[in-house]
Structure formats: C-alpha cells, structure tokens
Chains A and B, each alone.
Chain A
C-alpha cells in the first residue's frame, strides 16, 4: 500500500537529518564561548547566544541528537518487552487474567513520570539512565494497548479456523495475531516516541541528566536562568520539542 508523503513525514525526516548531520550543519562549535553573551538572534548567530556566549543554533542542533537518541532508546526499551507482555496477557489462560489485570492496574496506577523518577532514584542520574527509566516506565502502557489489540482479534473467525486446521499456538500468533495487531502497534510506537521526547527532556530539564551533555531539556533549564534578558534561549529548544512531537503525533493520526 502506497501512502502519500505529507508534511508530517517531511518534518520528522528533517529532524532526523538535522540530528544526524549536526556536525556538518552547525555554524559553530556548540561549546565554543563567543565574546557576545546573550546576543539576540542575528545573521551571525541565527538563534542568538546564551549566558556564556555559546551559539544557540548549534547547541539546539547538537541537543537534537541527544533528545532524539534518548527518545529512540526509550521507545525501544518500552516497545520490545511491552509488546511481548501484551501478547502474553492477551492470550493468557482465563484463570490467570484477573491477577494479571490487577498487576498491570497497579503498575498503571502510578503515573509514568513518577515511575521514571523512582527508577532514577535507584539507578542514578545520566542521559543513559533517563532513556532507560523513561522506557521502562512505559512498558505497562504498551502492554495494555497491545493486549487490547490482541483481545480484539483473538476471537475472530480466521483465528478459529486456524485452530480448526490444527495450527500450533506459536504459528497462530506469528501468522495471524501479530500481522493483524501490527497497525495498532506501529501507531502506538509513534505515541511512545512522543512521550519519550517529552518525558526525557522533562527529566533532564528537572536536573536528572548529565552536566556537559545538553539536550533540549537542559538548554531550556539554562534558559530559565536568563529568561528576562534572553527569552530566545528558552524559546528555541521548546519550539524544537513542540514541532517534533507535533509532527510525530500528526504522523500517528494519519496511521489510525
């Protein structure tokens, strides 16, 4: 099936390309200190400079690598086990279902960001830790969505007929269940990525990342210290997060 390429595809692609080719594109080194501190956007510094005189455009470009990297790892950490658990939950024998449901309700009763914070209290600070915590905190959500999709196809006639011709459970899952829940899973992967961008940057904004590794959340936090003199330091990284999440969400909407 061919889909028409529209602006969300292009915008997401643009973000990925900017992140990959940040070293080639960025006009300055993101850590180099220029004499003009807190300079407003100009032709020399497209996004202006920050409190130390660093070029904000270059910092946002490099920050995108961090933010996209963290979100990609987090989404992978959430999706692989979440998908597996969701399928198992969906096909679990009837007597097991109430206790599984209670277990997942308990996991879902604590909000994702709180779970991520608790995990960070255990595993410590850092960008890798943030990616891991954001990913782990979303497993229960992914499992719930996957389970819903599995339950929807579980009693379909084609599954019944597969049973009837003697297909093994393993074969049924691989050839009948997975292909049919795939659209939901792919769309939800987009949602997971969006959440990971927002929550990953939130945690580094809150100071749980690493010094010297500025993602968009850290740049935003730096901007808060100088928002009176230089609002642009706060505006551009936030704009980047919003545009990326907006594009991914639009992509998801088109899939559903």
Chain B
C-alpha cells in the first residue's frame, strides 16, 4: 500500500514539475508559437480560450491534473490532434525497442559481469569491453553499426520502424550501451559474494563449483543486479531517443525530439509524464522480484 502511495506521489510530482516548467515558465510561448505559424491576434485569442490558457493558473493546473486522471493530455500545438492520439501510435515501436534492449542488456550484462571474474585472458577482455562500452557514445556506435552492417556487409537495413530485421541493429547498439553498468555491478557483487560465509560452507560441503555458482552465488548476487537493471531505465529511455533518431524509427523518442524542436509543449509534457510512469513501473516490478529472489529481504 505504501508503495502505491509513493508511486502516485512521484508521478504527481513529476507531472506538476513538468506543468510548472512548460506552462508557467515560457509564459506566452504558446501565443508566440501560434503567431509564428501565421495566426491572427483574434485567432490566437480564440485558440488560447479553447485550450483554457486564459484561465487563472490554479484552474489550468486543476484541469490539467483532472485531465491526466481521465487520460486526457490536451491538444498538440502543431497538429491540433489530442496529445494522446499523437503519442499512441508511437508507443509500440518504442516499447518493443526498449524492452527487447532491456532484456538483452540484462542477460548480456550478467554474463559479461560473470566473465569478468575470470582471472585469465577472458576476464581481461570482458573487463576491457565493459570499460569501453561505458565510454562509447550511442550515436557513434549506431553510425558505425550502419556503416559496417548495412553499408559494407549489406546484412541488415539501416533504417525503418517495422519488422524484426529493422530491430536488430538498434537493439544491438542500445543494449551494448545499457549493458555496461549492469555488468559492472554484477562483477562487483559476484566478487564480494565469492568469499561470503555461506559460499565457503557450500564449498566445504564439497559441492561442485558450478552448482555453488548457480544455487548460491547467482541467487544472492541477482538482487542488487535487478535493482541496477531497473535504474538503467533512464539510460534506456535516453538511449531510445538517440537510437530512434540514428535509425530513423518513428517512436516516442523521435516524437519528443521533433516536439522539442517545434516547441510543442503539450506533447513534450505528455511524454515526460509517460516516461515517469514507465520508470516507476519498472522500479516497482524490480522491487517485487528482488523480494521474491532473495529471502533475506523482508518487507
């Protein structure tokens, strides 16, 4: 119950901050925007009244929050469609990209993190890969991937939204980017747990090393790793904006970029609220699964 309250509180705060930033600070930016598109003074007034922008701020705020509760985010300034209808068709491509990359990054990160433990050449290579991928700008790896796999080898298409083959390169690029922090935390945890008492007990019992790894080490190490994976949601969403731009995928990230350039405030505001909801959802799910996995954590 407390969790649900926290969840609602954080979303409400994020929505309020977005409102303050985008509707209070720019002042008359919306009128300026309309004037740029060639609307007359009377038209601007009519549209402002229509959008409820001439009402006092407190009432605007209440109707904004009330609208959010009903799933109404106002109207886009550039297309005059409801914001919900502008965002909805973009949602699925971004969700597919983000979730697939998230899963790939989690699996890859844990595997590479475990490989880092190796004291020989494999470990050295794994550690170097982790350090390198922390420093790689995603817009560069994306471009290089297109040069190599689309242009030189001709294996995969470089752009587009639909179809599994158009998903491979973006997912590859985005998950390499998100994988590194996961691998780092996995490595640090595994190293710590490697010498924990319960692991030494298991070794003393003469259990085979692989069984110890699977049943004792991994289970205890996965909790913090899941927490880090959940925290990567931010990276994942930021990365999705860039990835969608590099690979010309029409998703929410690209919509956010275009709306930012057009100063389409209601759409930007809607996307901010949605990303906060997504972030909180992932973190709540991560919290639950951590509790399930590690019996030492009691709520």
A residues sitting closer than 8 Å to B (CB atoms) are: 102-103, 105-114, 117-122, 125, 194, 198-199, 201-202, 205-208, 217, 220, 223-224, 227-228, 231, 234-235, 237-238, 241-243, 245-246, 249-250
A109 touches B276 (CB 8 A): yes
Q: How far is the CB of B283 from chain A (nearest CB, A)?
A: 8
B17 touches A106 (CB 8 A): yes
Which residues of B16-55 are within 8 A (CB) of A?
A: 17-18, 21-22, 25-26, 29
Q: How far is the CB of B83 from chain A (nearest CB, A)?
A: 14
Interface string of B1-28 (1 = CB under 8 A from A): 0000010011101100110011001100
The docked-state distance in angstroms from the alpha carbon of A199 to that of B137 is 9
User: By CB atoms of chain A within 10 A, which of B140, B241, B271 has the most?
Assistant: B140
Residues of A within 8 A of B132 (CB): 242, 246
Pick the contact of A234: B29, B144, B256 (CB < 8 A).
B144
Residues of B within 8 A of A235 (CB): 144
Q: How far is the CB of B261 from chain A (nearest CB, A)?
A: 7
B143 touches A224 (CB 8 A): yes
The docked-state distance in angstroms from the alpha carbon of A194 to that of B136 is 11
23 of the cross-chain contacts (CB-CB < 8 Å) are A102-B9, A105-B10, A106-B9, A106-B13, A109-B280, A110-B275, A111-B234, A113-B241, A117-B256, A117-B257, A118-B272, A121-B259, A201-B137, A205-B139, A205-B242, A228-B147, A234-B140, A238-B137, A241-B137, A241-B140, A245-B134, A246-B131, A246-B135
Residues of B within 8 A of A231 (CB): 147
The docked-state distance in angstroms from the alpha carbon of A139 to that of B218 is 35
B272 touches A202 (CB 8 A): no
Residues of A within 8 A of B175 (CB): none
The docked-state distance in angstroms from the alpha carbon of A109 to that of B12 is 11
- Given A111-B237, A114-B238, residue A202 in contact with residue B22 (CB < 8 A): no
Q: How far is the CB of B251 from chain A (nearest CB, A)?
A: 13
Since A102-B13, A112-B238 are in contact, a sample of 10 more A-B pairs with Cβ atoms closer than 8 Å, ordered by chain A residue number, is A107-B17, A111-B238, A112-B234, A113-B238, A118-B260, A118-B268, A118-B272, A125-B261, A245-B135, A250-B131
The docked-state distance in angstroms from the alpha carbon of A249 to that of B134 is 8
Q: Is B75 engaged at the interface, CB distance under 8 Å to the other chain?
A: no
Dominant secondary structure of chain A at its interface with chain B? helix
Residues of A within 8 A of B187 (CB): none
The docked-state distance in angstroms from the alpha carbon of A56 to that of B254 is 29
Query: Nearest 5 A-B pairs (CB), nearest first?
Result: A238-B140, A106-B13, A113-B238, A111-B234, A246-B135
- Given A198-B137, A241-B140, residue A206 in contact with residue B275 (CB < 8 A): no
B residues sitting closer than 8 Å to A (CB atoms) are: 6, 9-11, 13-14, 17-18, 21-22, 25-26, 29, 131-132, 134-140, 143-144, 146-147, 151, 233-235, 237-238, 241-242, 245-246, 256-257, 259-261, 263, 265, 268, 271-272, 275-276, 279-280
The docked-state distance in angstroms from the alpha carbon of A113 to that of B17 is 16
**What residue of chain A has the Cβ atom nearest to residue B143's Cβ?**
A234
B272 touches A102 (CB 8 A): no
A114 touches B241 (CB 8 A): yes
Pick the contact of A208: B131, B138, B260, B276 (CB < 8 A).
B260
B22 touches A206 (CB 8 A): no
Residues of A within 8 A of B272 (CB): 110, 114, 118
A206 touches B245 (CB 8 A): yes
The docked-state distance in angstroms from the alpha carbon of A205 to that of B256 is 15
Residues of B within 8 A of A122 (CB): 21-22, 25-26, 29
**What residue of chain B has the Cβ atom nearest to residue A102's Cβ?**
B9
Residues of A within 8 A of B245 (CB): 206
The docked-state distance in angstroms from the alpha carbon of A243 to that of B136 is 9
Q: How far is the CB of A45 from chain B (nearest CB, A)?
A: 20
**What residue of chain B has the Cβ atom nearest to residue A231's Cβ?**
B147
The docked-state distance in angstroms from the alpha carbon of A142 to that of B11 is 21
- Given A111-B275, A238-B137, residue A227 in contact with residue B146 (CB < 8 A): yes
Residues of A within 8 A of B242 (CB): 113, 202, 205-206
Q: How far is the CB of B202 from chain A (nearest CB, A)?
A: 31
B260 touches A249 (CB 8 A): no
A103 touches B131 (CB 8 A): no
Residues of A within 8 A of B25 (CB): 122
**What residue of chain A has the Cβ atom nearest to residue B132's Cβ?**
A246
Residues of B within 8 A of A113 (CB): 237-238, 241-242
B135 touches A207 (CB 8 A): no
The docked-state distance in angstroms from the alpha carbon of A249 to that of B131 is 8
A227 touches B147 (CB 8 A): yes
- Given A113-B238, A118-B260, residue A220 in contact with residue B139 (CB < 8 A): yes
- Given A117-B256, A118-B22, residue A238 in contact with residue B144 (CB < 8 A): yes
Residues of B within 8 A of A202 (CB): 137-139, 242
A121 touches B268 (CB 8 A): yes
**What residue of chain A has the Cβ atom nearest to residue B273's Cβ?**
A110
Q: How far is the CB of A70 from chain B (nearest CB, A)?
A: 14
